[in-house]
Amino acid sequence: MAELTFTPIDDIPKIVQELRATFLTGLTRPLAYRKEQLKGLHNLIAENEALFKESVYRDLRKPHQELMAGETGAIRQEAIDAIKHLDQWAAPQSVKTTLLNRMNKPHIRKTPLGTVLIIGAWNLPINLLLAPAVGAIAAGNCVILKPSEVSTHTAALLTRLLPKYLDPRSVRIINGAAAETTVLLEQKFDHMFYTGSGNIGKVIMTAAAKQLTPVTLELGGKSPAFVSKDVDIAVAARRLTFGKLFNTGQACIAPDYLIVERGIEQELVKEMKIAIQEFYGASPQTSQSYGRIINNNHFHRLKRLLDTTRGNIVVGGDTQEDDLYIAPTIVLDVKLDDPLMESEIFGPILPIWVVDTIDEGIEYVNRNDQPLALYVYSHNMKLADHILENTRSGGAVINDSLIQFMVTALPFGGTGPSGIGNYHGKRTFDIFSHERATLVKNLGMQKALAISYPPYTEKKTSWLEWLLFDKVKYPDNAILKGKL
């Protein structure tokens, strides 16, 4: 498999300008062209599953089932859905309006933004690059794709395959690290879409602000999972274990820490230990279903957390640097000032914070940045509703983990520090489209429009107000009168 070659820095402005020139020719606007591109994107994945299986295995030791469910299968389905629904998504949309404006045929046209930049992430190196690309292509844009250089084998494979399936006049890949990305961010784009850490998200947003370029930022954060004492512990343990250890914990919506009601923590640990052995055997390191940490830097970051935690490592804790292996690890009796609670873990280490009341957990979550995901495990739907009504997060799931990412009818994205904007399905098309407000006015009926023009009179004003606006009389403000 070919090694990753970075794009020469001097070529980057030229590539962007070529795509901007292509967009102005109108090449990408016809729906037929967009559908052909989407079919190419689908076939890129469908015809090269074995190659992608090899590349992500070399990058992350990712099991094929996790590749299929979280990456290749998901992208194929996104492309299929976009092809199937593109005529409907792109169709002009009529709007309801007042009597006077109804004659002007007001409607919304979905127009492409222009040339857009999509920067992917290493943990899902196919999905997080190509899922946004589906919407960008469907919307009629020219697209620059920047894969993560950390997942080198997958980036190299995408670079080699993409020109065979997608028109290089409208879709190109640029590879590189900090120097190349810095030059890339200096170019003029009509939208930037970034998935990754909050620190780099700030860099992206700063660069975009210099040219007033709109952004979508898919970031992360410490996603909590509440576990109430009334829950089915065995079921919750299995689902939490799967959600935490999918992709070896290297997922932005993995449960980052547990908030567990006092009295069930020992039983929960026991059941999670059983689930780990059921999923990965007595030695997860030899399991074909358990991946590896992406590189040495992240391995050492996670190893430092294990070395410095003041919690009690009750499951796992084993590491092997030359194999980039960190065992599925559970840490009990973690305090809020523990290193494990400082920032997103992004690995197979799960701290458990035991609380006397769920409201303690709510108060802690609200004191910190809004997470990308929030999970609640409980039989008590009133309690679950209480948690959701009194917290903020990008998304939420009751009694499971991760599954929201697979439901493309739902918006996926963060809020505040966990992200700006959301996507999946039609929402990705909408991100990369401009809703162009349009009216078509008849050149006749000029006499009827005379009431709009000077000289103004009270009679004209009265008629115009009747045509344009509803007249409603509401009672006095109940809040100010102390009734609410």
Residues serving a catalytic function are 218, 252
Of the chain, the end-to-end C-alpha distance in Å amounts to 68
Nearest to 120 by CA among 181, 62, 78: 181
**Residue 34 identity:** R
Which three-class secondary structure state does DSSP give residue 396? strand
- φ, ψ dihedrals at 69, nearest 5°: -70, -40
Q: Give the whole-angstrom CA distance, residue 248 versus residue 263.
A: 28
What are the structure tokens assigned to 479, written together?
């809040």
Please report which helix (H) or strand (E) contains residue 287, including its range. none
Which three-class secondary structure state does DSSP give residue 457? coil
Degrees (nearest 5) of the Cα angle 266, 380, 233?
25
Please report which helix (H) or strand (E) contains residue 193, including its range. strand 191-195
**Residue 445 identity:** M
Q: Give the whole-angstrom CA distance, residue 177 versus residue 149.
A: 6
Which three-class secondary structure state does DSSP give residue 352? strand
459: DSSP letter: H
The Cα-based distances of 291 to 59, 123, 324 in angstroms read 10, 11, 9
Contact 51, 65 (CB under 8 A): no
Contact 399, 239 (CB under 8 A): yes
Contact 38, 170 (CB under 8 A): no
Calculate Rg over the CA atoms of the chain.
26
**Residue 159 identity:** T
- Strand arrangement of the beta sheet that strand 107-112 belongs to: 93-94, 107-112, 433-438
Q: What is the 3-state secondary structure (H, E, C) of 217-272?
A: EECCCCCEEEECCCCCHHHHHHHHHHHHHHHHHCCCCCCCEEEEECCCHHHHHHHH
168, with CB counted inside 10 A (0-12, 13-18, 19+), is: middle
Contact 160, 4 (CB under 8 A): no
377: DSSP letter: E
The Cα-based distances of 171 to 58, 134, 144, 167 in angstroms read 26, 11, 6, 6
